[in-house]
Chain A
């Protein structure tokens, strides 16, 4: 009831003029759709998502895999380090965003990042407000990396621990050099199923980006036009001061279709669902 009714109502509402109401007011056909597709802010927000996914998916994948490989090799204190790296996953996105914004990456001289850089004579940097270069991406990507790398590390650890030891022994007998060669020909192929799952989850999570963006960049007067992901834009249109629920619904339908297409393409690319998996 709480999934399908709002979903279908949202599709229905997208064909109506619905300012400040969730009840259809006046049928407008596809006007809301054409208006959203012509809206530069909406198309820019789709670009923002693409850029974010481009940063965060490979970065999280590489970092979580590296952490998993490192923790997996530990003879002692493995449980301790696994917990240390996993703990940020329990932290709220809102809280983490506020810590990043107010303590580490604030733009004044006593912010942590600026203090450290100041020791080397660097000028203070407004991390979230500087668009050239776009330092805000550093803040956005690092906070999400910190929050989610530990979770994916645990998935990779589980995958690593399922690789039979005999494979490594056989590789050693065949003369494979430990390190990169073993990783490339044994470990990485054996992690294929885990890698596919991690990549899919990372892309879906990137689509869901809202909390850290909103808390890092919004203020009482609105949200800047850069680094505005689709959910933030649609939230502001539909549930913010605009209260244009017709157009907001049209945007949500467009976004849902895009996600569906991306998911199918990605699933086909990874060969997901094939019998050999």
Chain B
């Protein structure tokens, strides 16, 4: 068997250049032909795959109830944010999608300004989730619901070990170690040890931030290295659950007794309550250091309109109908399946399900200790930070050195996005 050198070079050279593109290409654009009734727009709407039963049926029901246009819902499993980011580059993306438009997407003109849709009720939206959708005084997505992450703990396991719910990071590290047995691990922060999901939470818990309000790096401070350095102890003590069949967003590991404490979302609360009754509680991420404070991350997907859509006006009318006018649907979406806090303050106040037990605790944490990821925190900075955190946690890398590199990347990113119009 012989190959000519020309063939070999051709094969080898083509591989890398086409590989990255080919890896992401698929024949399914996710968009049907318009195919609707004549004179009537057909809108393609994308949602990511929610884990809670009934959510998909609910959004299809809302779409079917809309009379001014035909709305086709696509339920998209997999890495949804990557899918939408790639789809927005093409002409075959959705008309409407739920997501958190990034600064590059906004600056690149990939999403439509929806300020006029929200202006009448702007003050009724929780500012914690409206602010990251706002750039240059304009709003680029209508917040749907508030999602928050928090720490679930198993009351019986803690009391058996004579441990109080941790209120500081040091207490959390100690508790995780004491709660670890041959069959149960102390803490589950995701299969990567927390590098992905925790994000800026430990920094906020140390009294710092990802990006300051005046647009500077918020963690160029020795306190950041000191706090992040503590995570390696969790790994070295073998207190972390790693390699669970489901990741942090799913409460299965906690429910199945694989871990005593788990970082997850408010959405998991109904499933946890159903499985464990009252044998659980929720906590914010504990404070660290003298300037620290308890912290919970809050965020919201927003309904956004693709600027390449041929039906922008119809798409805007639809999202105004669904996420501004139809408050009954918003309440149903937030509370009838998993638990989420309605993005509208008036709806959140009315929600009876959020007034008692662990749900009420969670809502108070979101109100008192919530922080949202700033719009200026770009994916490049986030990747550098996650890589550094992973090395700190698993390899015991020097937090000072690692963070200095992330500070450089973040500063350069902030400079880049500021240059853009």
Which residue numbers of A lie inside 8 Å of B, CB to CB?
A: 3, 6-7, 10-11, 19-22, 40-41, 102, 105-109, 111, 123, 125-132, 193-194, 196-197, 200, 204, 207-208, 210-211, 214, 218-222, 224-226, 230-231, 234-236, 238-244, 248, 252-253, 255-256, 258-260, 262-264, 267, 272-273, 277
Contact = CB atoms under 8 A, between A and B. Distances in A.
B18 A129 contact: no
Contacts of B183: 109
A102 B85 CA distance: 28
Contacts of A277: 2
Interface stretch (B4-12, B138-146, B278-286, B352-360): B4-12
Interface in B1-50: 1-5, 8-9, 11-21, 23-24
Nearest to A35: B412
Interface string B49-85: 0000000000000000000000000000001011001
A11 B16 CA distance: 12
Given A222-B383, A238-B20, 9 more contacts: A3-B14, A3-B18, A128-B191, A129-B193, A207-B19, A210-B19, A221-B192, A240-B82, A241-B82
Interface in B175-191: 182-183, 190-191
B242 interface: yes
Contacts of B23: 210-211, 214, 231, 235, 239
A95 to B, nearest CB: 15
8 contacts: A129-B243, A197-B1, A219-B192, A220-B249, A241-B379, A242-B379, A252-B20, A259-B16
B102 to A, nearest CB: 7
A127 B244 CA distance: 10
B65 to A, nearest CB: 30
B110 interface: yes
B12 A263 contact: yes
B89 interface: yes
B174 to A, nearest CB: 21
A204 B19 contact: no
B16 A230 contact: yes
A240 B85 contact: yes
Interface of B: 1-5, 8-9, 11-21, 23-24, 79, 81-82, 85-86, 88-89, 102, 104-105, 107-108, 110, 182-183, 190-193, 195-197, 238, 241-245, 247, 249, 253, 258, 378-380, 382-384, 386-387, 390-391, 394-395, 405
Closest CB pairs A-B (n = 8): A107-B243, A221-B196, A126-B242, A129-B242, A126-B243, A255-B16, A20-B108, A225-B387
Nearest to B247: A219
B243 A207 contact: no
B199 to A, nearest CB: 8
B243 A128 contact: yes
A96 B227 CA distance: 39
A220 B79 contact: yes
A130 B230 CA distance: 18
B88 A204 contact: no
Nearest to B193: A129
Nearest to A102: B245
A200 B192 contact: no
A98 to B, nearest CB: 11
A52 B355 CA distance: 54
B283 to A, nearest CB: 21
A20 B110 contact: yes
Nearest to A131: B394
